[in-house]
Amino acid sequence: MKKQLLLSVFVAGALSASGLAQQNSGSSNSGQSAPAAQADEREPLVTPKATDFWDGDDPNLVNLITHPYANKKYVQRYVAPIRDRINELDEITSENGNKIKDVDARAQKGLQMASEKTTLADQHATEANQKAQMAQTAASQASSRVSNEEQRVGSLDQYKASQQTEIRFRPGQTVLSKNAKDALDQMAMPLKGQHSYIIEVRGYSPGRGQAAIASSQKMADSVVRYLVLTHQIPVYRIYTMSMGSMASEGTKRVSNAKVEVNVLKNDTVTTAER
């Protein structure tokens, strides 16, 4: 009996020392968690404290052997707050992960939109550059055409004598002879289908005053009539002048009746048309 009593006292002392050690450890943990509580908004874990050594149990040998320090309920009471805090941290971690995913998704969407806008801006810039080049090309072509037209307009009056034919008449007559018609045919045939030419018809008649001018006009009209009716020479290409008895030099008078037919061509315009 004495041995059992001594054994019980020894076990009780050992368990009491273990309880004090745990209480000191809990106190030290509480002291260390105070700075963490200042850094975190969450309240620190509180270690459950026993009311006495027996923790509400009757002081006997059976309760001493089955003390709360050794049962499952006692362990769960200490472990439950830690488990709750771990679960809370898991929820916070999951929530933060979702927020990070959401921010990342929005960032990716923003980058995609920015990339699309950049691509669209590049396309617009390329189209604008192409249109500018087309406009520049059109302007250059228009400038070249204007320059060519200016050259053509400037060359309209640059006619040069190409061929000259003299048609002779008997005194007092205005009818064309066979030789005169053959000479006009030889002159007019090459002009068919051509452009940029004019025909100058000058009539000369011996005599003086208006009589000579009228006679020279009738001979010139005969030549013009033949060219228009026989060879379809446009009237607007023929220029008629009644010179009377004055020679082409203007210093002497003619002694016979004649008509000078001069073909004038504008080689510059003809070359440009080709």
What digits encode the pLDDT tens for the residues 228-245?
Answer: 999 898 999 999 988 887
Domain residue extents for the chain: 2-70, 160-273
- Whether the pTM exceeds 0.85: the reply is no
What digits encode the pLDDT tens for the residues 131-174?
Answer: 999 999 998 888 888 777 776 665 556 677 778 888 888 877 88
Instruction: Give the relative orientation of helices 209-231 and 178-188 as an angle to the nearest 10 degrees.
Output: 60
Q: How confident is the model at residue 96 (pLDDT cuts 50, 70, 90)?
A: very high
Per the CATH hierarchy, to which homologous superfamily does domain 160-273 belong? OmpA-like domain (3.30.1330.60)
CA distance 207 to 212: 5
Helix (H) or strand (E) holding 198, with range, is: strand 197-204
pLDDT at 95 over 60: yes
More confident call, 205 vs 22: 205
Give the model's pLDDT for residue 26: 47
From 42-46, 132-136, 140-144, 254-258, the region with the lowest mean pLDDT: 42-46
Considering only CA atoms, which of 199, 126, 142 is closest in space to residue 165?
Answer: 199
